[in-house]
Every structure is written in structure tokens, then in C-alpha cells.
């Protein structure tokens, strides 16, 4: 049974690039991040589950990234400064950081954006975790 689950996990991970590509760059980034996190926690099966979850979550599509960055720059949001590099999965403090609504035209739901160390990031407002860095 364990071998069957391992094979299923590996096959699922290998099939994901097509799924991620169909959903845009945000999904690809989400799938990759989810796969790595899932693999750390649950091995091959965890990687498959994490990648699928990450792809479903998505973010800003590659085609919209430049427009979104330009939008954020025009808003002159209050940036947050933290020690070290900002990475996907980092948890931001519950106070001292201002979170902003993502305009509907970018088709991102349930997330907010902010600027940390000069980088625009999407954040889950419930957990304050960074889900995507928009570069």
C-alpha cells in the first residue's frame, strides 16, 4: 500500500506542470511552493497534495504581474521593513503591517497585498502568511 501511494504521489507531481500552466503563473508558483512544503511534511504523497493545493490557491497571473506592480507603485502604500529576506511562507506580524485590497480586475480572492522590504507580496489575511512574491 505504501509503495502504491508513493508511486501515485510521484505520478501526480509529474503531471502538475500541465495543470499549473493552464492556470497561469500564479498557479505555477503556488504549485511549486506547495509541492516543496508538502514533501517536507509528508514525503512524495505530501508533495502531490501540497502541489495541488498550491495550484488551486494561485495568485497573480504572469500576464498581470507587470500591471499589478505598476498599480501598487501608483498607490504609494506604506511599506513594511523587516530583518532578513522576505520569502513565501513567512508569517508577518499581526500589527505594524498595513494590508490592502487587491482590485477585482486581478482576479485574486481572499488575499491582500502589502510591500515588504521593497517587494510586493500577497498575504493570507487570516494567517498573515506570505503566499506569493510579485517580482
Task: Say if residue 53 is in the same domain as residue 69.
Answer: no
Mean pLDDT of 95-100: 94
Q: Looking at per-residue confidence, does 25 or 106 come out higher? A: 106
Phi, psi of 117 (to 5 degrees): 50, 40
What pLDDT is stored for residue 135 in this prediction? Answer: 86
Q: Residues in the chain, how many?
A: 135
Mean pLDDT of 1-6: 48
Task: Say if residue 67 is in the same domain as residue 130.
Answer: yes
Task: Say if residue 43 is in the same domain as residue 79.
Answer: no
Query: Could you list the residue range(s) of the whole structural domain that residue 70 is in?
Result: 62-134
Distance between CA atoms of residues 100 and 113, nearest Å: 5
Domain count, the chain: 2
Residue 23 CA: distances (Å) to CA of 12, 51, 55, 84 = 16, 13, 8, 31
CA atoms 132, 127, 32, 24: torsion sign: negative
> What nine digits make up the cell of 59?
495568485
What pLDDT is stored for residue 31 in this prediction? Answer: 56
Distance between CA atoms of residues 73 and 59, nearest Å: 18
Q: How confident is the model at residue 62 (pLDDT cuts 50, 70, 90)?
A: very high
Mean pLDDT of 14-24: 40
Task: Say if residue 94 is in the same domain as residue 108.
Answer: yes
Task: Say if residue 75 is in the same domain as residue 32.
Answer: no
Amino acid at each position: 500500500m505504501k509503495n502504491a501511494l508513493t508511486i501515485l504521489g510521484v505520478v501526480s507531481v509529474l503531471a502538475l506542470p500541465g495543470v499549473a500552466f493552464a492556470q497561469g503563473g500564479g498557479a505555477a508558483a503556488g504549485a511549486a511552493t506547495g509541492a516543496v512544503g508538502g514533501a517536507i511534511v509528508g514525503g512524495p504523497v505530501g508533495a502531490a497534495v501540497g502541489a495541488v493545493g498550491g495550484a488551486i490557491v494561485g495568485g497573480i497571473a504572469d500576464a498581470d504581474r507587470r500591471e499589478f506592480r505598476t498599480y501598487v507603485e501608483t498607490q504609494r502604500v506604506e511599506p513594511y521593513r523587516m530583518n532578513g529576506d522576505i520569502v513565501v511562507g513567512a508569517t508577518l506580524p499581526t500589527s505594524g503591517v498595513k494590508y490592502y485590497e487587491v482590485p477585482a480586475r486581478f482576479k485574486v480572492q481572499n488575499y491582500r497585498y502589502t510591500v515588504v522590504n521593497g517587494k510586493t507580496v500577497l498575504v493570507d489575511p487570516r494567517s498573515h502568511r506570505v503566499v506569493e512574491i510579485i517580482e
